Amino acid sequence: MKRISAIASAAALSLLLAACGGGDGDKGSAGSSGGGDGDKSGGGEVAVVTWWEAGSEKKGLEELETIFADQHSNFTFKNAAIAGGGGSQAKQKLSADLAASNPPDTFQAHAGAELSDYIDAMQIEDVSDLYDEFELRDAFPDTLIDRLTVDGKIYSVPSNVHRANVVWANPAVLEEAGIDPEAQPADIDAWIADMEKVKEAGKTPITIGMAWTQLQLLETVLMADLGADAYNGLFDGSTDWAGPEVTKALEHYEAIKELADTSSLTEDWEPAISPVIEGNAAYNVMGDWAVAAFDSAGKTYGEDYIAFPVPGTDGMFDFLADSFTLPVGAKNAEGAKAWLDTISSKEGQIAFNKVKGSIPARSDLTDEEKAEFGQYQQDAMTSFGEDTIVSSIAHGAAAPVAVSNEMNDACAKFWEGASDLAGFQAELADAAKAMAK
Ligand code: BGC
């Protein structure tokens, strides 16, 4: 079985570079104003809203702050981060501030359906012209540009790409349960069988956190059981949320729930994954920002922890991208544009992503630049170039915020035992109705 940790060969990297049209040398920071103090216009504070407020995520933001200070020294970064992984608090606050015409200068959002909320409400500007000014049109892969474009216009600038269908596992715990860490389970049934072995060995099979982490686990089980095409059909009406295929996936989800440690159901992702880091639990499903948490704890990839696609989703890349906006009525629009320049510049993307666990949204990195990244990230770059891209529900790529919020609520009820499987499925189907056009 192929683990994500399989070493990407130089040949595979060259192929990926060729596919992405890159590899012909670093042209340095993109754009007219990047890479120095060229931009002398404007000045003042630039209020940046993210949910990278703590831990490894905060360290990533600090990298961007440093490059911003270097590239645009006439502006001052103002950290307006709002705590809560997955944007669990930030999105609510943003929605209230935007509705009250009190926007920050720029804010973190997700490429894909989530942006449509802000676009429909005319709360963010079309930034297509910046793609020309910063020479970004060829810097990003088409898969990403497609998910950013609405009616021919682009409303945000991505800083990174994350993968959400990743199992993080503690090999020592697996070995104690008689499971070969090298042998990746082929499907959800085989994975559940392994979890049962962990339970028999007296260890925690899988941990889970607050509602959005529950929704993220759910989307990966749906991918595993439905396959990429039928999973995609959940968002265009061609797969029925109330149908038997989804019921089967929910039965798997319920079986995993029965094996999970439910003591962290209201906790954020970092405390929820911590038992895996510490060697007290076998598995956690989390986006690849988790790699930064393991690394910050001094753990070594391939030794202290391993990662593999959620069983049944090998060859699928559960995609999400953080993407920054220019809100309508931003007080410091020039400052926001300077921020968008920094986060899209090669220098900014390399510095930030190395620390964040994500991969650069830009696909024009040289082999040398790629080699600066950790092994997990190099493997993720290869997967992003080769796999079938499917969109995350929990992280705004597949569904608008209103839909993912309702699905979060449905998950929370199910995990707390306040709904049964039939009730859960009915609530998910109900939430999905808002997507039917
Ligand atoms: C964001 C990531 C972040 C994660 C956990 C996701 O929605 O895209 O950048 O690390 O939430 O907070």
pLDDT in tens, 214-225: 999 999 999 999
Residue to substitute in 49, 51, 318 for testing ligand 1 pocket (most ligand atoms within 8 angstroms of CB): 51
Report the nearest-CA residue for atom 12 of ligand 1. 85
Question: Is the model's pTM score more than 0.95?
Answer: no
Minimum mean pLDDT among 54-58, 235-239, 299-303, 426-430: which range? 54-58
Euclidean distance between CA atoms 421 and 201, whole angstroms? 28
Q: Beta 75-79 vs 306-309: how paired, if at all?
A: unpaired
- pLDDT-derived band at 437 (thresholds 50, 70, 90) equals low
Which atom belonging to ligand 1 lies closest to the Cα atom of 84?
12
- Ligand 1 centroid–CA 344 distance in Å is 18
350 lines ligand 1 (CB under 6 A): no
Residue 147: strand, helix, or coil: helix
The predicted-structure confidence for 175-199, as pLDDT tens digits, reads as follows 999 999 999 999 999 999 999 999 9
**CB neighbours of 390 closer than 8 A, spacing ≥ 6?**
223, 228, 231, 232, 316, 317, 318, 319, 398
Question: What's residue 261's pLDDT?
Answer: 98
**Per-residue b or e along 149-187, where b marks 16 or more CB atoms closer than 10 Å to that residue's CB:** eeeeebbbbbbbbbbbbbbbbbbebbebbebebeebbeb
pLDDT tens-digit profile of 265-290?
Answer: 999 999 999 999 999 999 999 999 99
pLDDT score of 34 more than 50: no
Outline where DSSP puts E strands in 50-199: 75-79, 106-110, 149-150, 153-154, 157-163, 166-169
Our mutation pick for probing the ligand 1 site, out of 147, 296, 320, counting the most ligand atoms within 8 A of Cβ, is 320
Residue 85 Cβ < 6 Å to ligand 1: yes
pLDDT over 90 (residue 243):
yes
The confidence score (pLDDT) of residue 20 equals 36
Mutation pick for ligand 1 pocket among 56, 57, 401 (CB with most ligand atoms within 8 Å): 57
Count CA within 13 A, CB hemisphere, residue 213. 30
What average pLDDT score do residues 116-132 get?
Answer: 95
Q: Is the pLDDT of residue 27 over 50?
A: no
Which amino acid is located at 18 in the chain?
A
Residue 4: pLDDT band with limits 50, 70, 90:
very low
C-beta 319 within 6 A of ligand 1: no
